[in-house]
Amino acid sequence: MNLEEKLKEIFGYDNFRKGQKQIIEQVLSKQDTLGILPTGAGKSICYQLPAVIQSGVTLVISPLISLMKDQVDQLNVAGIPATFINSTIDDFESNFRMQQVENGAIKLLFVAPERFGLDYFNHFLQHLPIDLVAIDEAHCISQWGHDFRPSYVEFAQHLQDLPTQPTILALTATATPKVTEDIQNLLSITPYNTVKTGFLRKNLRFEVVKGVDKRTFLKNYLKNREKGESGIIYASTRKEVEEICEWLNRNNFKANRYHAGLSENERKTNQEQFIYDEIPIMVATNAFGMGINKSNVRFVIHYSIPATIESYYQEAGRAGRDGLESDAILLFSPNDVRIRNFLIERSEGDDSHKEHEYEKLRQMQAYTSSETCLQRYILEYFGDEGQACGKCSNCLDEREDVDITVETQKVLSCVIRMGERFGKTAVAQVLVGSKNKNLAKWNFEKLSTFGIMKNFSQKAVGELIDFLAAEGFLSVTAGKFPTLIVSNRGAKVLKGQEKVHRRATLIAEKTVIHSET
C-alpha cells in the first residue's frame, strides 16, 4: 500500500511531516509505539490514517472532553465516521452511539480515560474489533509529567482486559527523559519503538524581559508590530486577563479575553473572532489554546511566569505554526514567583505532589536566570541536544562578559560552611553580613565567609545565587524550603579547575566613593 497516496486521498496532503510515516508504519505492522512530536507537528494523522485504513475500530483516549466534539466534527467533515462518548451527552445518546460503533458504522471513538472504570463500558468494549488504541496527551500517565492524571494509570491497567490485543499508540508533545521512561514502562513500549522528532522550533525567537514596567513594554511592543498581526497574551488569573484586556482596548489595541469564568457562548465567539483574524489579540489564561489550530500567531507573550517549562513551551509553541518567524516573550518579575508558590501551597494534593510542583517552578525560574541560549535551555530540559539559536535575548545579549570566578568561590564556600542545609535567603544574608535576628541562633558570624560580600546588596547576591543555580554550579533540593548544595561543577570552580563568566556585571552597590577634595 502506498501511504502517500492514502494521505493525499483522505486528507489532501502531499507529504508526510517528520515522524508521521514512521509512526504510521509501525502502527500498521502492529508495533506498540510512542510518538513524541512537538505541538503542531501533526500527531492526529498518526492515528487517523491507520484508523481509516484498518478494518476495525480505533479508540482515541483524550483527557480533553471539551475538544472531543470539535475533533469529531472535523473528522466528519472530512468524511471519516467518528463519534465521542463522554459526560456531556445523556444516556440515551450514549447508547445510540455505542450501537453505531457496534454496527461498524464508526471508525474512531473518542473517550476520556475515566470511562474505563465503568462496568457497562468495559462490557461494551469486549465485543468490539478494536485495532488501535491511540492515547493522546500520554504524558498524563506519568507522575513526573506536568499534568498527571491517575485515571490514565487506571486506564492502562484496563488495557490488558481488551480481548483483541489492540496496538497501542501513545502520543505527546512534552516529555522529559523521565516522563518518556514512565510512559514506556506503564504501556510496555520499547525505546526502540519510540519515535522522537526533536523539540526544536527553529522559527521561534525567545526572550526574557526583566525589570520593566510590563504595560509600557506591552504598549511599545504592540506599537512596533504590523497592524492586525495575531498574538496571545497569557496571564495567570482571570482577574489579570480582564484588566489587561480592558487596558489594551482603552489604548486602541483590539483584544478579546478568554478564561474559564466566561460563558461558553462568549468563549466560543471570542475564540472564533481570534481564529478568523477579526480580533488580533487574545488575552487568556491557560484555559485557552488546547486544540486551537491557528497557524499565523506571530507572538505569544507571558505576562507572568508559568508553572512549568512544559506548559511554557506548549503555550509559547502556539506561535509560528506556519513556520514563519515568531516571538515567545516572558515578562519576568520575582513577585510572580511568590504568587505561584502561594498557589502551590494552597493547592490540593499531598506533600510529595507539592514538592514536585515546587521543583518544576524552580526549573521554570532558572530559565529566567540562565544566560545560556534560551532555546537550548528548553531543549536540554527535554533531553535534546541543541546549538545556540543566535537570536534569543541571551544569544543577543551584548553586555560585557565578566569573570566572576572569585565571587562564585565566595558563594560556594559559604554554602559549604553553612553545612549545605540552607536556602538562598540565608546564604545571601550571611554573605552580606546581615544582622537579621533569624540568623542569630546559628552563630554564622563566626564563619569566615560571614560578611565576605558586604559590599553587595542582599538582592544582588540573591540574583547571583539564582544564576549559579540556573547554570548548574549549585544544586537546589526540591520542596517548599529548597536548600543549596554545591554541585560537581561547583566543586570544580572551588578547586580552580573551571572559571565562571557572567554578562550581568555584579556591581558592588554599597561601595563608598570618596569624592576628591
Rounded least distance, CB 45 to ligand ADP, Å: 5
Strand partners, 130: 57
Judged by CB under 6 A, how many residues of this single chain contact ligand ADP?
14
Beta strand segments in 25-143, E = 33-36, 57-61, 82-85, 108-111, 130-135
Say whether residue 196 binds ligand ADP (CB under 6 A). no
Say whether residue 42 binds ligand ADP (CB under 6 A). yes
Q: In the chain, how many H helices and how many E strands? A: 20, 17
DSSP 113: G
Which residues within the stretch 338-357 sit at the binding site for ligand ADP (CB under 6 A)?
A: none
Say whether residue 492 binds ligand ADP (CB under 6 A). no
Of 27, 70, 31, 18, the residue nearest 52 (C-alpha): 27
List Cα–Cα distances, 406 to 180, 393, 444, in angstroms: 40, 26, 21
Rounded least distance, CB 286 to ligand ADP, Å: 16
Instruction: Identify the residue whose cell numbers are 543577543.
Output: 396
Strand partners, 168: 133
Of 329, 373, 367, the residue nearest 233 (C-alpha): 329
Rounded least distance, CB 472 to ligand ADP, Å: 31
List Cα–Cα distances, 233 to 67, 469, 513, in angstroms: 21, 29, 44
Say whether residue 60 binds ligand ADP (CB under 6 A). no
Dihedral sign for Cα atoms in the order 466, 470, 474, 475:
positive
Measure CA of the first residue to CA of the last residue in the chain; give whole Å.
Answer: 91
Using the contact rule CB under 6 A, the part of the chain among 10-18, 211-219, 360-368, 466-474 near ligand ADP is 10-18
In the complex with ligand ADP, which residue's Cβ is closer, 43 or 360?
Answer: 43
Say whether residue 39 binds ligand ADP (CB under 6 A). yes
DSSP 231: E
Rounded least distance, CB 128 to ligand ADP, Å: 25
Beta strand segments in 46-118, E = 57-61, 82-85, 108-111
Using the contact rule CB under 6 A, the part of the chain among 37-45, 215-223, 340-348, 365-373 near ligand ADP is 37-45
> Pattern of binders to ligand ADP over 289-308, x per CB under 6 A?
----x---------------
In the complex with ligand ADP, which residue's Cβ is closer, 42 or 383?
Answer: 42
Using the contact rule CB under 6 A, the part of the chain among 14-22, 24-32, 59-67, 208-216 near ligand ADP is 14-22
Using the contact rule CB under 6 A, the part of the chain among 8-16, 125-133, 186-194, 487-495 near ligand ADP is 8-16
Contacting ligand ADP (CB under 6 A), which of 26, 33, 44, 369?
44
Of 223, 200, 198, 221, the residue nearest 209 (C-alpha): 221
In the complex with ligand ADP, which residue's Cβ is closer, 74 or 86?
Answer: 74
Say whether residue 45 binds ligand ADP (CB under 6 A). yes
Of 178, 212, 175, the residue nearest 195 (C-alpha): 175
Say whether residue 41 binds ligand ADP (CB under 6 A). yes
> Pattern of binders to ligand ADP over 436-465, x per CB under 6 A?
------------------------------
Kindly write down the DSSP assignment for every residue of 352-382, as one continuous string. Answer: HHHHHHHHHHHHHHHHHH--S-HHHHHHHHT
Kindly write down the DSSP assignment for every residue of 266-285, as one continuous string. Answer: HHHHHHHHHHTTSS-EEEE-
Say whether residue 16 binds ligand ADP (CB under 6 A). yes
Using the contact rule CB under 6 A, the part of the chain among 11-19, 119-127, 300-308, 449-457 near ligand ADP is 11-19
Contact between 28 and 54 under an 8 Å Cβ cutoff? The reply is yes
In the complex with ligand ADP, which residue's Cβ is closer, 47 or 155?
Answer: 47
Is residue 241 exposed (0-12), middle (13-18) or buried (19+ Cβ within 10 Å)?
buried
Query: CA angle, 249 as apex, 317 and 270 as ends, to 5°?
Result: 55
Is residue 395 exposed (0-12), middle (13-18) or buried (19+ Cβ within 10 Å)?
middle
Contacting ligand ADP (CB under 6 A), which of 3, 6, 17, 504?
17
Which residue's CB atom is positioned nearest to ligand ADP?
A: 42
Contacting ligand ADP (CB under 6 A), which of 19, 40, 166, 280?
40
In the complex with ligand ADP, which residue's Cβ is closer, 42 or 479?
Answer: 42
Contacting ligand ADP (CB under 6 A), which of 13, 121, 221, 247?
13
Using the contact rule CB under 6 A, the part of the chain among 42-50, 198-206, 237-245, 470-478 near ligand ADP is 42-50
Cell numbers found for residue 455: 559590599
Using the contact rule CB under 6 A, the part of the chain among 35-43, 213-221, 324-332, 432-440 near ligand ADP is 35-43
Footprint of ligand ADP (CB under 6 A): 13, 15-17, 20, 37, 39-45, 293
